[in-house]
């Protein structure tokens, strides 16, 4: 038997299939249906999807600010950054009250801006009033 003549690794040969002596193998094996998940909130769309430890993502972001009721939010981001740094200057680095300002500016400012400002703060060259 020719090596290339083998269809799908079974003992079918290509010539037999072509001449109609033998039906071709199905394209794939018939699968079995897995039983449905026990509880409705543990259903996953893909069978192979690994059940994750259920990490709840809280949908929460910086609220709208009455000081910036406009489309241009550049100042909003900048002000939140300043507020955070004024806050940690006043209350110390690990004060939980400052954490919300940090979350706000992270939500609003592009990462690139934050990184640039952080560098400037470290070097003492940040131009803003903090």
User: Which three-class secondary structure state does DSSP give residue 105?
Assistant: helix
Q: Tokens 């009033």 appear where? A: 129
Total chain residues near another protein (CB under 8 A): 31
Stretch that binds another protein, among 10-18, 32-40, 89-97, 99-107 (CB under 8 A): 99-107
User: Which three-class secondary structure state does DSSP give residue 13?
Assistant: strand
Cβ contacts of residue 76 below 8 Å, gap of 6+?
62, 65, 67, 68, 108
Q: Which run of H or of E encompasses 114?
A: helix 111-123
The distance of closest approach from Cβ of residue 110 to another protein in the complex, given in angstroms and rounded to an integer, is: 6
User: Exposed/middle/buried for 113, CB within 10 Å: 0-12, 13-18, 19+?
Assistant: middle
Residue 25 phi/psi, 5-degree rounding, is -65, 150
Interaction of residue 118 with another protein, rule CB under 8 A: yes
The distance of closest approach from Cβ of residue 45 to another protein in the complex, given in angstroms and rounded to an integer, is: 8
Interaction of residue 82 with another protein, rule CB under 8 A: no
For the segment 37-56, give every residue that binds another protein (CB under 8 A).
45, 52, 55-56
Interaction of residue 57 with another protein, rule CB under 8 A: yes
Interaction of residue 8 with another protein, rule CB under 8 A: no
Binding site for another protein (CB under 8 A): 45, 52, 55-57, 59-64, 68-74, 76-77, 103, 106-112, 114-115, 118
């Amino acid at each position: 038997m020719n090596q290339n003549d083998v269809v799908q690794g079974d003992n079918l040969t290509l010539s037999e299939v072509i001449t109609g002596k033998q039906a071709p193998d199905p394209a794939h094996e018939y699968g079995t249906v897995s039983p449905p998940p026990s509880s409705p909130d543990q259903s996953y769309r893909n069978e192979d999807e690994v059940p994750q430890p259920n990490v709840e993502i809280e949908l929460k972001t910086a609220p709208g600010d009455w000081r910036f009721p406009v489309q241009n939010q550049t100042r909003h981001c900048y002000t939140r950054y300043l507020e955070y740094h004024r806050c940690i200057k006043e209350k110390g680095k690990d004060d939980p009250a400052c954490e919300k300002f940090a979350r706000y500016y992270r939500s609003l400012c592009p990462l690139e801006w934050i990184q640039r400002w952080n560098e400037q703060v470290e070097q003492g060259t940040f131009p803003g009033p903090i």
